[in-house]
Amino acid sequence: MLDSQNLLNSIDPKNISILSAKNNQDVLLNIKDLTVQYYGLKITVALFNINMHIAKGERVTIVGQSGCGKSTLLNVAAGFLKPALGTITIENKIITKPNSDRIVVFQEHGLLPWKTALENVMFPLIQAKKLSKEASIHKAKNALTLVGLHGLQEKFPHQLSGGQKQRVSIARAFAMEPKILLMDEPFSALDQITKNTLQDELLELCKHINATVFFITHDIREAIKIGNRIIVLSSNPGQIIAELDSAYGKSFEEVEHQKNKIEQLLGIK
């Protein structure tokens, strides 16, 4: 069986030059020479030699096929997983554990069923941020208003639609005012119409508060729509194979051209 070092030596590295941070950009998250492995009966190299950064106010999407290592990358950024090699920093400090400066929104809303929408948004404000009840109510109400749920704050999760539950979970994340919002396919369980609406709302919200977002998805159209910058990840192991400025907002043809290009890069066309 290959040991860890031989396994890494056997990987064919992709030659991709990544745009370096533009001079005037204020880098928030910096990923350098990152390799992540899972250790089980055999070693899986989930990510290999990842180099990328996210500047303040940027929305960066990672797109790649299922199993290519997207969640792994987000989990390292969240501090849930440690890299085998390389570093990941936020404001030049190495990430070693989860912290409320990085909040994750998952595909599943993760709301507590016995708490109302308002209480769900308040919960981490009290538990993690140690805010007073009054301050938490104020922040939670504002966040719910921002996602259009002002009138539904006393509802329990089972009284809300799938889209509404995910709005609560987005409000809960924004209320924490993280330095960066980490989103792991947050809309993939929703129907296409709801998904489109939530994408529009998220974009508006992000622009409104100049949020920094790291968003991963297997949906190419979604990656183009949400990101200012799109990073394309290959599979087995996950390696960056391209980095593109999003064509979203340009002509229909340009967006379609970018979608086709990403499909080709991913080998699905």
- Which residues contribute to the site for ligand ADP (CB under 6 A)? 38, 40, 44, 46, 64, 66-72
Cβ within 8 Å of residue 241, ≥6 positions away: 14, 16, 232, 233, 234, 265
> What Cα–Cα distance (Å) separates residue 107 from each residue in 53, 96, 176?
24, 24, 19
Q: Does 71 bind Mg ion (CB under 5 A)?
A: yes
Nearest to 234 by CA among 32, 49, 56: 49
Judged by CB under 5 A, does residue 61 bind Mg ion?
A: no
Is the Cα torsion angle 187, 239, 99, 226 positive or negative in sign?
negative
Among ligand ADP, Mg ion, none, the one that 69 touches (CB under a kind-dependent 5 to 8 A) is ligand ADP
| Minimum separation from the CB atom of position 70 to Mg ion (A) | 5
Q: CB of 62: closest distance to ligand ADP in angstroms?
A: 8
Closest distance of CB 62 from Mg ion, Å: 10
Is 69 or 124 the residue whose CB approaches ligand ADP more closely?
Answer: 69
Q: Which amino acid is at 57?
A: G
**Is residue 217 near Mg ion by the rule CB under 5 A?**
no
Partner from ligand ADP, Mg ion, none binding residue 186, C-beta < 5-8 Å depending on class: none
Tokens for 93, please give them.
């400090």
Determine the 3-state secondary structure of 187 from DSSP: coil
Is the separation of the CB atoms in 63 and 226 below 8 Å? no
Minimum CB separation from ligand ADP for residue 46, in Å?
A: 4
Exposure pattern of 84-108 as b/e (b: 16+ CB <10 Å)?
bebebebeeeebeeeeebbbbbbbe
Which one of 71-79, 86-94, 132-140, 188-196 is the stretch in contact with Mg ion (CB under 5 A)? 71-79
Q: Which does 262 bind (CB under 5 to 8 A by kind): Mg ion, ligand ADP, none?
A: none
List residues bridging with 62 in a β-sheet.
216, 231
CB of 224 to ligand ADP, least distance (A): 18
| Rounded distance between C-alpha atoms, residue 123 and residue 157, angstroms | 14
From the list ligand ADP, Mg ion, none, pick the one residue 153 interacts with, judged by a Cβ distance below 5 to 8 Å according to partner type: none
Which residues from 3-22 bind Mg ion, rule CB under 5 A?
A: none
Contact code string over 20-59 relative to Mg ion, x by CB under 5 A: ----------------------------------------
- Ramachandran angles phi, psi of 12, nearest 5°: -85, 110
Question: Which chain residues interact with Mg ion by CB under 5 A?
Answer: 71
